[in-house]
Structure 1
């Protein structure tokens, strides 16, 4: 594997499982120093131990992305441990599946908007000032639910639309500082949470991929590779974009 991310320090949220964990391992293998953020410190430490055993550089900054102070501390960890922050993969997310608006609890609505929207906002708010002097690249995880109604809960659809809005507006505001900001339009991905949902309701898998050109779920590493490419200098003329990693779902 080429070290396309060599010399970069990258913060990854939602890094304890699924796409975030795949990104942690992949980015480190491509030469990046990584700072891992999620609520589950024990899981982060397990992944960090794997990365260190493979010769990679990693720090853990456990915390909740809805907590602005915790995000600020994670960014500070990157600066103190590795001298700065060159990239970020703001991947933490949460939502419900197929819950009607009138059946969605206030707590679920607040958590969905908090993790996806406020979490992305908190990350941008603290990451961008550090990148303003030397530039950088940010990737935010949106979803096919950010483009159209997917069958996910309406709160999740609204939240992922908001992530695209934040991405585009921030890209326009910070391009003058040499910062690129993009989003991934992620289709159904075989994460631990999705696997759990499928075990509880097996027809979910077939329904999730029914409208895709490629009728299967993504593997977490496939999404992580797309994020790595966007963060890398190989994507140097791409900003404000919404890049689909969805098996063609958003094309038809």
Structure 2
């Protein structure tokens, strides 16, 4: 059995993805800063018959991500799918003319240093699993493709992450490792036909299983 590691796992999209991949036989590693929250989510999923375990990790600390993913592999098995989907902090979202150099440190650590550390940690295991197995999934808001003047930090950092993801897609695709990005415009909305967590989780499963596209964009309209 292989594992999906969800960085930024919570009770919304993270839980929905855990259930979708868990239904396909995946073990689930739940990574978040709050150990108590991921432990509680893991307990809920375990009661539903999904093997899951929580691991504490701060995405702004590359060493923390490396340690958590290493522990997840040792506990649950090889990581076949990595999902990077932490929710940005509110203080990353300042108007452009109020954004100083120091205001960009957090967003860059969060959206660029974090995923780079995660990818480097899981890539050897994905290569070991063989061709057409490993998948790296990035989940971003709409500012990744259309910057917003009032959300400067995420606009700049998400754009950098999108560029990194596209470069990975080009290079790792040659090895049979799929890299895809799901862009979600606006909020995730329970019960919405397009942006309900379970619907979005289905899209993420398809990106992994079908392996036929880099980017899927869900509009905010």
**Fold shared, TM-score > 0.5 on shorter chain:** yes
Deviations 1:202-225 (A, max 9, x none): xxxxxxxxxxxxx99822332222
Equivalent position of 1:109 in the other structure: 104
Describe the SS at the equivalent of 2:56: coil
Shift of 1:138: 0.9
Equivalent position of 1:87 in the other structure: 81
Deviations 1:82-115 (A, max 9, x none): 3311111111131548621232355542222221
Equivalent position of 1:199 in the other structure: none
Between the aligned partners of 1:105 and 1:17, the Cα distance in structure 2 is: 33
Deviations 1:94-145 (A, max 9, x none): 1548621232355542222221222222211212122112240111112221
Describe the SS at the equivalent of 1:93: coil
Where does the alignment leave 5 or more consecutive residues of structure 2 unmatched?
Answer: none
Between the aligned partners of 1:116 and 1:52, the Cα distance in structure 2 is: 30
TM-score by length of 2: 0.86
TM-score by length of 1: 0.76
Shift of 1:44: 0.5
How much is the aligned-residue C-alpha RMSD, in angstroms? Answer: 2.5
CA 1:106–1:58: 2 relative to 1, 3 Å: same
Match of 1:145 among 139, 143, 146: 143
Equivalent position of 2:116 in the other structure: 121
Shift of 1:33: 0.5
Where does the alignment leave 5 or more consecutive residues of structure 1 unmatched?
Answer: 1-6, 193-214
Describe the SS at the equivalent of 1:124: helix
Equivalent position of 1:196 in the other structure: none
Residues 1:49 and 2:43 aligned together? yes
Between the aligned partners of 2:212 and 2:2, the Cα distance in structure 1 is: 18
Task: Tell which deviates more after alignment, 141-150 or 158-167.
Answer: 141-150
Between the aligned partners of 1:159 and 1:69, the Cα distance in structure 2 is: 20
Between the aligned partners of 1:8 and 1:229, the Cα distance in structure 2 is: 17
Query: Which structure is larger by alpha-carbon Rg, 1 or 2?
Result: 1
